[in-house]
């Protein structure tokens, strides 16, 4: 690789030819301020916050897009640079509501942080050039606030290029430009899957999750309610980031302790029903494989993926596993099995989920998710919302002692833990399917071929003479590629895992901000570390799951299981395409 020498603020560094000024400055230990730039996306150079001087150039250059050349001399902190950055930021702020104290991103907003960094302490420009627009609160999971949008287009890129959904795009022209659904309709009127990846990359609060914190506070304060909480596998490796901890810290014990201090009556682990999902889904796959069922069978744990296939590939719904997600299985059992064991009227049981996912808010409101006669799940908090509640309660997370989950839904295996990472559901299923079919012990429970954040991964497993080819995809753009292969008759897989979000649930739309690919990798590493540290690593070895079948469900795929743990989905189809602007 050809290397070039450039000088940044008096420091000479060598970087690969074609590198940007931004990358060269980073190599020199200088952090140039940015706003529209995101390390995982294509360069847009929209905001001009990152401008620098290049000696010999007649104008300031955008550091995020300008490539370096050999001998280039760059100045990142001259009076002209500081003035230009400040003016560019002030112009952005002139179109931005000045209500930081009432904003969900207060003290966690990139625009606010830049104003502090660049010394913007007064508003010099007061002429608002864009028309005011009402909030769009039409979906169960997300809120759009167009007035706060800074037109950075990060949300557009993740929606189109990463997720291939295309629910939002730039519309209108000039000073009237907005980011909005086609035709200017509400988000609920287009094929939005409510994955929340847009909210994860938005630098301000132009898109954020529907807030369930107040309804949870109300339930905790209601003496008539028995409030139970379940925590998704990915939460234990991300909640610490809400309190300044490094990504990739496993904080399971502190998480349990924190939830008890909030006042929950029981603290349970969604990993329990992840293990249960594997038992049901594994037996469903074996049944399809041996009895001529619809193949490939595709996992059904991810609600954003479910809504995606309902909209874009409704003719392939029969390929989905009929299993509910672990969140919904937990809710159904909490209001039946647990209610009976605890002697509590299910109408008084209030189920709260802590999830890395915004689409879980949509999922819990689906009409088919009420097998007990009551909604399986009553409220869903994202990782960010849980962080907010813990701060409101004054709980110092890092100083909490480790505590254990409550029984009966607190006994879990490593297979349940790895549900939080792309490939985890497939690996957990293979650990069980292999031993159920072959009646032999796996020589190794680690299926490394399906791990990692690569978009599509493949593996082949020999079930004592029966070769099973599997595929794993994360991110809906990759899901689309797999579905198109099925549609074209080019897929020879028998089992497919699809996770809606890049990296799987560890990269969910409700996770701490920022979430980058580098951070995803650290969370995934922590997930597998947690798995390796557990005494049980196969779902079918979970003693509490065995007891559940003995006492209540009977057998996998039995009548009771089908009633409570399985469901079918809805053909939604695509919405008519409408032009914007």
Residues with a catalytic annotation lie at: 281, 284, 301, 321, 360, 363, 368, 505
* Residue 114 φ then ψ, to 5°: -65, -40
Residue 179 belongs to what H/E stretch? strand 178-180
Contacts of 199 (CB under 8 A, 6+ apart): 142, 207, 208, 209, 358, 509, 510
The residues, ordered by sequence, that sit 6+ positions from 156 with a Cβ below 8 Å of its Cβ are 168, 169, 170, 179
Across 542-557, b (16+ Cβ under 10 Å) vs e yields bebbeebbeebbeebb
Q: Which of 36, 116, 50 is nearest to 81 (CA)?
A: 50
Buried b (16+ CB within 10 A) or exposed e, 322-354: bbbbbbbbbbbbbbbbbbeeeebebeebbbbbb
- Are 455 and 477 in contact by the 8 Å Cβ rule? The answer is yes
CA proximity to 505, closest of 575, 416, 569: 416
**Residue 360 contacts residue 327 (beta carbons within 8 Å):** yes
Q: The tokens of 99 are what?
A: 């209500």
**Residues paired with 269 in a beta bridge:** 231
H or E element: which one contains 559?
A: helix 559-565
Cis before 408 (ω within 30):
yes
Is the sign of the CA dihedral 170, 171, 177, 181 positive or negative?
A: negative
Q: What is the DSSP letter of 88?
A: H
Please, are residues 308 and 476 in contact by the beta-carbon 8 Å criterion?
Answer: yes
End-to-end CA distance of the chain: 45
Return d(Cα 77, Cα 9) in angstroms, integer.
8
Distance from C-alpha of 405 to C-alpha of 161, rounded to nearest angstrom: 40
CA 243/CA 387 separation, integer angstroms: 8
In eight-state DSSP terms, residue 224 is: T
The answer to whether 196 touches 357, Cβ cutoff 8 Å, is yes
Q: Give 316: exposed, middle or buried? Use CB within 10 Å, 0-12, 13-18, 19+.
A: middle
Q: Which residues contact 215 (CB under 8 A, 6 or more apart)?
A: 378, 379
The DSSP letter of residue 474 is E
């Amino acid at each position: 690789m050809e290397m070039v020498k450039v000088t940044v603020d008096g420091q000479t560094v060598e970087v690969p030819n074609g590198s940007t000024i931004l990358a060269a400055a980073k190599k020199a230990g200088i952090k140039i301020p940015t706003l529209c730039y995101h390390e995982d996306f294509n360069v847009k150079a929209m905001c001009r916050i990152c401008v620098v001087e290049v000696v010999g150039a007649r104008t300031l250059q955008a550091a995020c897009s300008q490539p370096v050349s050999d001998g280039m001399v760059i100045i990142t902190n001259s009076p002209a640079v500081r003035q230009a950055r400040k003016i560019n930021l002030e112009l952005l702020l002139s179109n931005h509501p000045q209500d930081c104290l009432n904003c969900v991103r207060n003290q966690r907003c990139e625009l606010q942080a830049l104003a502090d960094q660049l010394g913007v302490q007064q508003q010099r420009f007061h002429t608002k050039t864009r028309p005011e627009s009402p909030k769009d609160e039409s979906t169960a999971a997300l809120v759009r606030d167009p007035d706060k949008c800074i037109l950075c287009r990060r949300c557009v890129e993740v929606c189109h290029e990463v997720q291939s959904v295309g629910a939002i795009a730039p519309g209108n022209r000039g000073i009237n430009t907005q980011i909005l659904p086609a035709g200017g309709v509400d988000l609920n009127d287009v094929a939005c899957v409510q994955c929340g990846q847009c909210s994860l990359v938005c630098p301000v609060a132009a898109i954020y999750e529907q807030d369930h914190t107040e309804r949870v506070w109300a339930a905790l304060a209601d003496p008539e309610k028995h409030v139970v909480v379940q925590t998704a596998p990915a939460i234990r490796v991300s909640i610490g980031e809400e309190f300044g901890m490094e990504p990739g810290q496993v904080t399971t014990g502190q998480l349990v302790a924190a939830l008890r201090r909030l006042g929950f009556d029981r603290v349970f682990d969604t990993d329990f029903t992840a293990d249960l999902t594997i038992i049901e889904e594994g037996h469903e796959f074996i049944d399809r494989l041996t009895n001529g069922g619809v193949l490939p069978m595709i996992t059904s744990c991810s609600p954003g993926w479910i809504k995606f296939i309902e909209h874009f590939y409704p003719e392939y719904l029969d390929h989905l596993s009929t299993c509910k997600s672990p969140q919904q299985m937990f809710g159904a059992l909490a209001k039946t099995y647990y209610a009976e064991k605890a002697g509590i009227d299910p109408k008084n049981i209030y189920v709260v989920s802590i999830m890395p996912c915004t689409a879980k808010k949509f999922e819990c409101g689906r009409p088919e998710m009420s097998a007990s006669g009551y909604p399986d799940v009553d409220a869903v908090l994202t990782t960010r919302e849980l962080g907010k509640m813990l701060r409101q309660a004054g709980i110092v997370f890092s100083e909490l002692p480790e505590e254990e989950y409550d029984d009966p839904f607190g006994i879990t295996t490593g297979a349940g833990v790895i549900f939080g990472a792309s490939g985890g559901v497939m690996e957990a299923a293979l650990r069980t399917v292999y031993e159920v079919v072959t009646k032999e012990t796996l020589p190794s429970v680690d299926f490394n071929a399906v791990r990692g954040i690569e978009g599509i991964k493949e593996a082949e497993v020999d079930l004592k003479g029966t070769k099973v080819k599997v595929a794993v995809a994360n991110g809906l753009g990759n899901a689309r590629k797999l579905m198109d292969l099925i549609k074209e008759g080019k897929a020879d897989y028998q089992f497919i895992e699809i996770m809606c979000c890049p990296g799987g649930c560890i990269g969910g739309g409700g996770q701490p901000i920022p979430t980058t690919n580098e951070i995803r990798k650290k969370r995934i590493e922590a997930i597998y570390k947690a798995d390796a540290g557990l005494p049980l690593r196969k779902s079918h070895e979970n003693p509490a799951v065995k007891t559940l079948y003995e006492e209540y469900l009977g057998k996998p795929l039995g009548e009771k299981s089908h009633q409570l743990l399985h469901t079918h989905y809805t053909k939604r189809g695509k919405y008519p395409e409408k032009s914007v602007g």
